[in-house]
Amino acid sequence: MKFIRNILAVSPFLNIALVIAIGSIVTMEAYLLKIPEVVPWGAEFGVVFYKLCLSIMASYLFYFIVVHLKSQSDKENINAFVASKSYRVVGEYKSQLSSIKKESSSNIESEYPTKDEMEAMFRAIHPKGKAPLVLGQLGNHANWMQYMSYHNKRTQDLIKKVFVKMPFLDSKLVRLLAEIDDSAHFSVIESTISFQFNNTDMSAWAGSFYDYSILCKELEEYNEKKLSEYKS
């Protein structure tokens, strides 16, 4: 199966050329060499064409073994690295959502709640309340804004590591990760932490977190479609 997948990954033009070359050689060996010349130069043309077909086969094998297989191996190694980071980006979102559900006593099962459901959960949480994250010494809990900032930075660090492999990345994945990296949720949380706020619930941040969740949902769908086979 892997061998067939590697062949299918070769340029269709090269695969077609190989099929024509092999088909031509088989035809000449089985039939054409046994029939008389139709034109005076038929034999000479046949010899030249036969050598051309052999040359195409040899070139294809050289390219497949020396160039293509290495390229596919490099691609698989890179995709395994990218998959682990891309899945973890979604995992950072899901970890936060799980904590938000628990804190707000929500019974919502979906990992991607509606905007109204998100707002309802955020209204039940005080932004300065204790979040499930310990800062420094034991017992020093982060508040919810610090908790989200922590996950935002972890997410952006993961995205930076993926972008190091930029020349090898699918353009859609780049777009999805870039949109998450530029998410309004990230900038809103960071700007809020830098000054005093008197909000008694987190409803003001529900909208941006919902938009962030939609981006993560799209990334998860991409992961399952394109990177699931590389997931460890």
> Tokens standing for 73?
């191996």
Beta strands 130-134; 141-143: pairing state: antiparallel
Task: Between 68 and 202, name the one with better pLDDT.
Answer: 202
pLDDT at 43: 59
Residue 196 pLDDT class (50, 70, 90 cuts): confident
Is pLDDT larger for residue 24 or for residue 204?
A: 204
pLDDT band at 3 (very low <50, low <70, confident <90, very high): low
**What is the pLDDT at residue 232?**
73
Domain ranges of the chain: 2-230
> Residue 179: its pLDDT value, please?
98
pLDDT at residue 164 in the model = 93
pLDDT digits (tens, 9 = 90+) for 69-114: 776 776 778 889 999 999 999 999 999 999 999 999 999 999 999 9
Burial of 23 (0-12, 13-18, 19+ CB in 10 A): exposed
The candidate with the shortest Cα–Cα distance to 200, out of 117, 127, 132, is 127
Its sign, for the CA torsion 119, 124, 128, 133, is negative
Cα 167–chain centre separation: 14
Q: Which residue has the higher pLDDT, 41 or 199?
A: 199
Burial code (b: 16+ CB inside 10 Å, e: under 16) for 70-84 equals eebeeeeebbebbbb
Token pair, residue 199, equals: 């909000």
How much is the average pLDDT of 214-228?
96
CB-based contacts of 231: which residues, under 8 Å, 6+ apart? 83, 84, 87, 223
The 10s digit of each residue's pLDDT in 21-67 is 888 888 877 765 555 555 565 556 677 878 888 899 898 888 778 77
Backbone angles phi, psi at 142, to 5 degrees: -75, 155
Predicted local distance difference test score (pLDDT) of residue 47:
75
Cβ neighbours around 116 below 10 Å, total: 10
What per-residue confidence (pLDDT) applies to 224?
Answer: 96
| pLDDT tens, residue by residue, 110-156 | 999 999 999 999 999 999 999 999 987 767 889 999 999 999 999 99
pLDDT at 6: 67
